[in-house]
Each structure stands twice: as C-alpha cells, then as structure tokens.
A and B are shown apart, each in its own frame.
Chain A
Amino acid sequence: MISLNVNGKNYKLDVPQDMQLLWVIRDHLKLTGTKYACGIGECGSCTVHINGKAERACTITAEEVQGKEITTIEGLPEDHPVKRAWIEEQVVQCGYCQPGMIMQVAALLSESPDAKKVINSMDDFICRCGTHTRVKKGVETAIQIMRKEGRA
C-alpha cells in the first residue's frame, strides 16, 4: 500500500511500487489533467508540484513521493494568476501540453516573479501547436496580475 497526499486529500492505494506517479494520478485517482506525452521527462506535459516545486510525474515513482504534498492542475485554484493569465492571453490551442506548462510557471513565479527566468525554463517543454509566443505573454500577464494583487 502506498499513501499519497494529492490536492490536500489523503489516499491509500494498492499500486505496484515501481509505478510512475503520472499513472497513479491518472489511472487510479482519475485526475487526468496531468498528461502523458513522452514518459522520459523530456516534454513537461506531466508537470505537477511536489512540496511546491515543479517536478515531472513521469520520472518519479509514487513510492518516492509518499508523505509529500502533491498538487496537480486540478488542485491549482481556478483564480490562480497563471490560470487567469492563460485565459486572458488565450494561450491554449489543443491544450494537451498546457497543464504542465501552467504548473511549471506557477511554481517558478511563486519563487520569484522573473519573466525571463521563467521563459528560459520553458525550453524544457514541448508544444506542437506552436503556442510559444502566447506562453511568453501569459507569463508576463500572470506577473502583472500577481503584482496588482500584492501576490508578488
């Protein structure tokens, strides 16, 4: 049995010990906002927060994150500045890679609202629709929202 804390809820799960966190989240907790796209930590589509830090759920086993706080896209509040900025800037196209991007940006902005640093970190993400131009705007707008609301 593995104990996990996801989006503030505790779960006890009978899953193989070597199972990647990604598949535990998706297939056992039915939180499908976290996406599978590469399985080797290359594309970022499965990015979640582990104790507030952005990590790739496809390269960590569920066992490794027992006792830690895990947040998925569904657990990031609807009024989070990054989610709002993504809607305001109409960043999304197919949307498949976007939950991972949003989680990455949210984690980095909570450390420091430095647009350049965040955008540079997005080199580790892949999007095939070509939303990159809008992602850059989304990051800048999220920072503006945070500043305006005294969150940064």
Chain B
Amino acid sequence: MNKSISRREFLKGSLAATGLTIAASVTPFGYKVLNASETKKDQLASLDSIAWFKITPDNMVTMFMGPSEMGQGTHTSLAMVIADELEADWSRVEVRHGKARKEFINAVMHDQITVASSSVRAFYQPLREMGAAGRAVLLKAAASTWKVPENECKAFNGTVKHMKSGKSLTYGELCLKAAELPLPKDPPLKKEGDFRYMGKFMPRLDIPPKVSGETVYGLDFTVPDMLFAVLARPPAYGAKHTSFDQKAAEAVKGVKKVFPIPMGIAVCAESLDAAWKGRDALNVKWDRGAIPGMDNAYIEKTIMADLDRPGSTAVKKGDVKKALGGADKKVKATYFVPYVAHATMEPMNCTVHVRKDGCDIWAPTQIQTVPHMIIAPQITGLPPEKINLYTTYMGCGLGRRGRPDFIAEALIVGKVLGKPVKVVWTREEDIKHDAFRSAMSHRIEAGLDSQGGLTGWAHKVVSGSIMKAINPKGIKDGVDMMSLWGLADFPNSPAFNSNISYDIPNFYVEFLLSDLPIPVAPWRSIQNAPNAFVIESFMDELAHAAGKDPLAFRLEALKNNKRAGRVLRAVAEKADWGKAVPRGQGRGIAQHRCFGSYVAQVADVTVNEKDGTFKVDRVFVAVDCGFAVNPFNIKTQIEGAVTLALSTVLREEVMFSKGGVKSANFDDYSPIRMTEIPDIEVHIVKSNDKMGGIGEPGTPPLAPAVANAVFNATGARLRRIPLTPDRVLAAIKAL
C-alpha cells in the first residue's frame, strides 16, 4: 500500500494525489462539485485549497469549514450533513476552519460570513450533494477494484462492502483510486429514514479539545518573533488626542515602536506586559469629543424625543388612520430598550504578518469576505490572492465579530511594523469600544373592534443603524430594514423572513434613524430581540384590553400563519397554559419568528412585591426550525439564547458618561449568574417545513415572555428593560 501511494504521488506530483478531495466551485447557479479527475493538472494544488473535505489513506475524513465556529456548534452539524451522505465513520471525522475563499460564500448571505443563523440552512443542500458525490465515487472505485457491478456494492460506515463475497475496503484504502475517477453526475441523496447521523444525537467534535485546554483561540495564537501591540483609545466618541509622550512610552523596557493610527495610539513591544506599561507611560491628552455631556439620561431623553420627529414610511398597508378612527377600543404605549454590549468572553484580538509580497491574518472572526477581499487589499495594497485569512476558534461571537474593525486596525499596525504582530484588547477596551445592540424607542397605537379583533396598528421606531456601518446604500429612503426585523422586512426576503407574524388588516410602520454617535452592530438575533420585546409585550396589552387570554388572542391573529400558531399551541400544551398559579407568581407567553425559524416561550416568575425583585422559575420553549439536523445542539442553542436574553432582562445596560462609555468590565457590566438560571425545557416541534436557523431565534421571545409574566403576577406593565427591582417596584407602586 505504501509503495503504491508513493508511486501515485510521484505520478501526479500533487497534493491532490494524497487522497480524495471533494471541493466545490461557486457558479451563478450555485455550487459545482469537483474532484481531481475534473481538475486540470496544473490546478491540482489549488483544488486542495478549495476543498470542503478530503479522505486520506490514513482513513481520516478531514473537513474544512467555511462558517466560523464560535460556540454555536455549526461545525459538528455541517460535519453530520457531509458524513451522513458520505456514509463516513464518525470516529474518523475531523473538522477545522478552512482558509477564507470565495468557495465558502454562503448562499443566504452572499458572503463568507457567519451571521443570521444561516450556516446549516445555507450549506445543507450543497454539502449533502458533496457527501453523496464522495460516496458514489468511492463505490465506483471499489467496484472497479473488485471488477464487480456497482449495484452489488454498498457503502457502510466508512467502508464499501461487496455483498456477495463479503469483501470490504475502507474509504482510506479506496481514496487514491477514487481521486482519479470522474464524479458521477447527480448521485442519489439518502432518504430521511436512512440518515445515519442527521436527526440523531451526535457528540460535538470541538468539545474534547476545548475541555483539555488544547483549542487555539485567537488570543492563544502565536507566530515566532511576534510583537504585541496595544492601543490607547479615545475615551469619548469623536475625541482626538491633543498630546502624548511618545518618548516616555518608548523608554519602557521592551517597547519597540509607538505611533498614532486612526483608531488611537499604537504601542508595540516584545511582550504584552511591556506594551501595557508603555501605554501607561503615554500620558495621552484627549479633547472632549462629539457630545461631551452625553450620558444615559441624555441618550434616553434624545431617543424618546426622536419619536416626535418625522420619520420615513417603512410599511403601509390599508388605511391605519381610518382603522384607528373607527376602532371600538384603542391602546397606545411607548417602549424603550437600552444599549447592550456583546462582551464576548474572549476580547477582540488579531494577529497579522504584513509583508511586501503577501499578508497573513489570523483572526477570531465571523466575517471573512469583507476583510479578505476589501479591507486587507485596501490597507496593504496587495491583491486578495496574496492575502491569507485564517479563522481561529473564538470565545463567543454574538455578532460582535461580524464587525471587522479589530482586523483593520491590526493590519494598519502590521503594515507599519512589517513583522508579525498581535493586537490585543483588554476587557475594558472590549466593552468601551464595542459596537452595541442599538437602543431603541417605540410608540404604538392599535385598534380593536367590538369583538376584540385587531383592526389597525401604527408603529414608530427610532434606532441606531447597523446598515449605516456595513452598507450605507442598504438604507433605502431613510429606512434601515435590519433595524425593523421582526416588525418589517425587505421586500422578497425569504432568508430573513422577518415581517410581523400577525394578520393586521391596516398596518403602518415609520422609522427614524437615531443620530447619536454610538456605534451599533448585530447582537444575537439583530434587532429581532428588542423588537419582539415591544411587539409581544404590546400584544399582551391588547389581549388584556380585549379581555382575552393572551394565547387565544395571538392565535386569532395567526390564522394564516400555520407555523407560528403551531409552536404557540405546542408550548401552551407543554406548559399547561391556563392552569391557575398561586399569588405572587405569574406566567407570560410570547412568540417570534426570525431567520426562518419559529419559537414560542412561556415564562413562569415569582415576584417579591415588597422589593421588586423577581425570579424566573421556568421557561418552556417550542421551536420549529424545519428538519432538525442536530436536535441536541438545537436544545443547547435555545438554552443559551434564553440565558443570554434573560441577562438583558435582568440587568444588562451599557452606562455612558462624558460622551463616552463608562461601563468597563464584568464588575460594572455584570451578566447573568448561575443561580439566576431557570429550568429551561426545550421542545422541538416535528416539522417538514422549510429549514430555518437556530443560533439566534431562541433569543427574541424571552424578554416579552418574562415581562408579560411580571404583568400577570403583579398587574404592572414594564415597558423598558432591564426589569431592575427599582423599575418593577415603581411600576407596582404606580398601580
């Protein structure tokens, strides 16, 4: 065997000859599955660089993943898809991040980017086809080795068996021969009942190395002779430095170079310790920035007052004025949601090596196409083919790592140095220079007819704009649709599927962009979570006004939305909705659809009316994401989303002062803790409907379910999160 490998390697003189490589090229019609037989000899080496998976003579299947693994388990789910169709032996599967490239473009997002819960639904079909192509060509290789008809052979758990003779060969033994055979056209896909891995419990491939401490995150990555750089950053938005003591910083032992860049003043040193000491010695003086008096009171007042300024029409359906004018009953309310930080456990960092002839980037990033194809070429002057972007493992993403500011500044620093350098952010920098989940204000007025049916809904939203930072042209006529997801959506946008779920005959949405200088970014579920807090709290207000049960009221308005109605009924059944609860306790229900998935939740709370504290005792969740590729992972993602969302309900709010961010670390920005976590029961609704995403859709229904539960327990309606004891107590006292 060894002899034959070396002969073949010699003959082909290529990496591709070391195994069966299945790759895909991107065409205007989707993906074209490739192997070595269809690749010109001089391009064989590049076939390897675009591989999705490779089977090698050591009988390993190595998969190279385009989507970023930030904890959401996508690498395991995608590996299950490939391995299932391939009939691979799970114990012989390895996954890693592939190098950034256009063949990893996600068909939902049209970029290599891991956002909008899009990875599994975007790659499910092409990866099944790639797996099936691999299985088919391995079958062919076995049949030709044994000189038997293919239909007498069967692929089974990493081997091909000849049923009549009982002979078998492993995929490792067949891979070299298979590499030279043409890929069969349109290989058959498995039927759902034949799935070996999909739909079943599979242990995550990334867990053992994370438990042993071996996994290399961005911050752990090193290159020989690498320098460390830290930045002194402006304390207020728009602040410029007026002076700094470069000499004092350079005099610190180990400091190599100090220079200003647009984001701050870079201090580069042999060690992180020296870089920090150098930064301490800089003694930077800053001017007062764009709005020196900006603090939380200023922000809330401004965003609430913006509701009285004219905005742009985002949705207009029917005649809402007429509907409200003729309504039997009208309900009006105003809501506010503050800025929330990502505070991913691993602070931002990026390692680069910018040379005259090429550039390497190692980044814990959710976004590859933009830094690889646009930012790095702009900064370095190199073409994308001279730039290698390697994605490292990352300590949580939550959307923060979809904003490549931390890569851009590392490239600027690295270009000055011409040596490998790692730029490291402290926790304080990570929070103060985060781009937050935007604060929002909402004003709604809705009308009910004499039967308590919803006739009209007028809704005004003020929000910061994510689109403004990533694609200003995406703001059409003053409307950033991303900020409205859950309430309204781009026309013809099946991938996001984020219009309001309810049938409202007369519906009007107006949008106004906040002009505060605070950067915003996607945060687990984008603005679906704050929007759902408002919509689903207000639906509860309407149900109350109509004198109807909150579940029944919602179901009436969801007659044309089968999937939303189904998850609501499922969660109601699991939670035994309608049962009596003791005094001091309350139950709330909410549902939301985003990224193609439908989630409904019931939260049970116990409120202490004396001090305004409350405990969330239990959360029931029903989810419909279409076919459940990886059911256990769906459960853990929903548990995580519920937990993170509850953190924003209990306390999370970024504090500002003097025109900048005051919150600094986990002492003054304190996320949820272990003993605050409720029991979380997740039920996956069996569904043959279109597949949706799973990393984010568990987030939005939680805040309204809890606020509605507090209302149910106390009669007090809380229209602003977090639901701190002060606010709860004040709302109870105001009754």
Contacts and interface: CB of A to CB of B under 8 A. Distances in A.
Given A98-B211, A122-B674, A133 B345 contact: no
A23 B269 CA distance: 15
B398 A130 contact: no
Given A78-B212, A134-B639, A95 B674 contact: no
Contacts of A96: 71, 217, 345-346, 394-396
A133 B676 CA distance: 11
A92 B216 contact: no
For chain A, what secondary structure do more than half of its interface residues adopt (helix, strand, loop), or is it mixed?
Answer: loop
Interface stretch (B35-43, B107-115, B641-649): B641-649
A63 to B, nearest CB: 14
Interface string A65-80: 0000000111000100
Interface in A73-91: 73-74, 78, 83, 86-87, 90-91
Interface string B57-100: 00000000000001111000000000000000000000000000
Given A27-B272, A93-B636, A94-B395, A42 B665 contact: yes
For chain B, what secondary structure do more than half of its interface residues adopt (helix, strand, loop), or is it mixed?
Answer: loop
A36 B219 contact: yes
B577 to A, nearest CB: 22
Which bucket holds chain B's interface residue count?
35 or more
B204 interface: yes
A152 interface: no
B667 A42 contact: yes
A38 interface: yes
B431 to A, nearest CB: 10
A91 B635 CA distance: 12
Given A23-B273, A128-B396, A132-B677, A93 B220 contact: no
A87 B207 contact: yes
A54 interface: no
Contact of A98 (B210, B216, B222, B343): B210
Contact of B636 (A38, A128, A134): A134
B71 A95 contact: yes
B395 A119 contact: no
Given A27-B271, A119-B674, A119-B675, A133 B680 contact: yes
B427 A130 contact: no
A20 to B, nearest CB: 9
A21 B643 CA distance: 32
Interface string A28-66: 001111111111101101000000000000000000000
B204 A92 contact: yes
B395 A37 contact: yes
B345 A37 contact: yes
Greatest chain B CB density within 10 A among A90, A94, A129 is at A94
A97 interface: yes
Contacts of B273: 15-16, 19, 23, 27
B644 A130 contact: yes
A90 B636 contact: yes
Interface in A1-33: 15-16, 19, 23, 26-27, 30-33
Given A35-B395, A119-B674, A122-B674, A86 B207 contact: yes
Interchain residue pairs A-B with the least CB separation, the first 8: A33-B213, A94-B71, A96-B395, A130-B643, A95-B210, A130-B640, A93-B71, A73-B213
20 contacts: A19-B273, A32-B216, A36-B347, A39-B665, A40-B666, A42-B670, A74-B212, A90-B204, A95-B210, A96-B395, A123-B673, A128-B644, A129-B640, A130-B641, A130-B644, A131-B636, A132-B643, A132-B672, A133-B680, A134-B639
Interface of A: 15-16, 19, 23, 26-27, 30-40, 42-43, 45, 72-74, 78, 83, 86-87, 90-99, 102, 119-120, 122-136
